[in-house]
Amino acid sequence: MSLDVPALSSEVAKPFLLSLADDELVMGHRLSFWVARGPTIEVDNEVAAIVQDELGHARLWYDVVAEAGETIEDLAFGRPAGQRRNTVLVEAPMADFGETIVRQFLYDRAEELFLSAIRDGDDAELSARAEVALREEAFHREHADVWLDHLSETEESRAHLEAGFEACLPRSRDLFAFPEGTSQELVEAGVLDRAIPTLHTEWIEEVVSTLSDLPLDVPLRTSPIENDAADIPDALEGEPATNGRLGEHTDELVELAENGFTEF
């Protein structure tokens, strides 16, 4: 699809948008595990709707970056892992509903921030697409909030959530870890209305704030980070062990790409 997107003249725009698309694709794909397999019939319906949202969002961005003759199947299912730019947070197959909710929470908050920065940016086409996705994100936000709250009810369910945070927080380190210079160029090109590190800080604040409202035992570092009063959860400290934004991925994603997304 050829579109008039001035922002694409910037070298970093395509890899950035591919990141967003790849994020949504893998997240949506992994989440589809729960379709007709949810804890209740109502959840089956809810999850099916969210999966369609995520896959729909991925398509919004794939359509923008597709070269002439490139189909969405080429982009979504055909690229080897090394070319993919999704966060490693979304890569593991899903198996536990608690971990799934935690992953959704951490991931969707980040997505929302990226989308709002694009919506408030200068590129009309990108902004419009971000707006479309954001409308559905409102529901995803509520979904995560309600489920995190409800799954904090028993000792056993809290244990599932805590294990989920333990697994997901370290994998969240690459969410905002884009290559050097990406953020500055995206802001200059008007794709984003604010810098990626700013989004990262906002995200941390939201995560910490949400955690502080939940009766969960998720270790936080006690000393504050540089410019903010917010504490960073231990597991988020430091550079990502594997940075999906640079094309580094887990074996699980490598396998998924190799089989062309034909397994959950």
Partner 1 sequence: MEFESRREASPEAEEERYDVFVQWRRGKPHEYAETINASDPEMAFLLARRNVDLRSEPLSIWVAPRSSMVQSELGDSTLRPSTDRSYRSVAHYAHGGDYGSEEAAEEAAEEAGQ
Partner 2 sequence: MSSELEQRVEAGETLEPTDELTDEYRSLLAAMVRFTANTELIGAWLERPHIPHAPTYERRLAIIAKIQDEVGHAQMQYRLVEDITGKSRNELLDDLLSGRSGFGNAFQYEIDSWQEYAMFVWLADGGAMTLQHTLLRSSYGPYARVMRRICREEEFHIRYAGDIVRRQVNHSEERKRQMQELLNEWWPRGMLFFGHKDGESESVGRMMELGIRTKSNDECRQAYLDNFVPKIRDFGLEVPDPNVEYDEEAGRWNYSEPDWAELERTREGQGPLAASRVDTRREAFEEADWVRDALGERYRAGLGDTRAAGAAGD
Regarding 214 and contact with partner 1 (CB under 8 A), the answer is: no
Please report whether residue 46 would count as binding partner 1 according to CB under 8 A. Answer: yes
Quote the tokens at residue 182. 């990406």
Contact call for residue 150 and partner 1 (CB under 8 A): yes
Return the structure tokens found at 105.
Answer: 């929470």
Q: Out of 35, 43, 92, 132, which residue is the one contacting partner 1 (CB under 8 A)? A: 43
Helix axes 124-150, 97-119, angle to 10 degrees: 150
Using CB under 8 A, which of the segments 60-68, 102-110, 140-148, 234-242 binds partner 1? Answer: 140-148
Between the CA of residue 219 and those of 144, 168, 234, what are the distances in Å? 20, 13, 6
Of residues 152 and 250, the one with the C-beta less far from partner 2: 152
| Interface with partner 1, residue 136, by CB under 8 A | no
Residue in this structure with the two tokens 């994998």, named with its chain if needed: 171
Q: Please report how close the Cβ of residue 104 comes to partner 2 at its closest, in angstroms.
A: 14
Separation of alpha carbons 35 and 146, rounded Å = 19
Please tell me the distance from the alpha carbon of residue 100 to that of residue 56, in angstroms, as a whole number.
19
Query: Pick from partner 2, partner 1, none: which does 52 bind, CB < 5 to 8 A by kind?
Result: partner 2
Q: How many residues does the chain have?
A: 264
Q: Is 146 exposed, middle or buried (0-12, 13-18, 19+ CB in 10 A)?
A: exposed
Interface with partner 1, residue 40, by CB under 8 A: yes
Indicate whether 133 belongs to the interface with partner 1 (CB under 8 A). Answer: no
Pick from 57, 129, 143, 171: which binds partner 1 (CB under 8 A)? 143
**Is 262 one of the binding residues for partner 1 (CB under 8 A)?**
no
**E-only strand ranges, the chain:** none
Site residues for partner 1 per CB under 8 A: 40-43, 45-46, 49-50, 139, 142-143, 146, 150
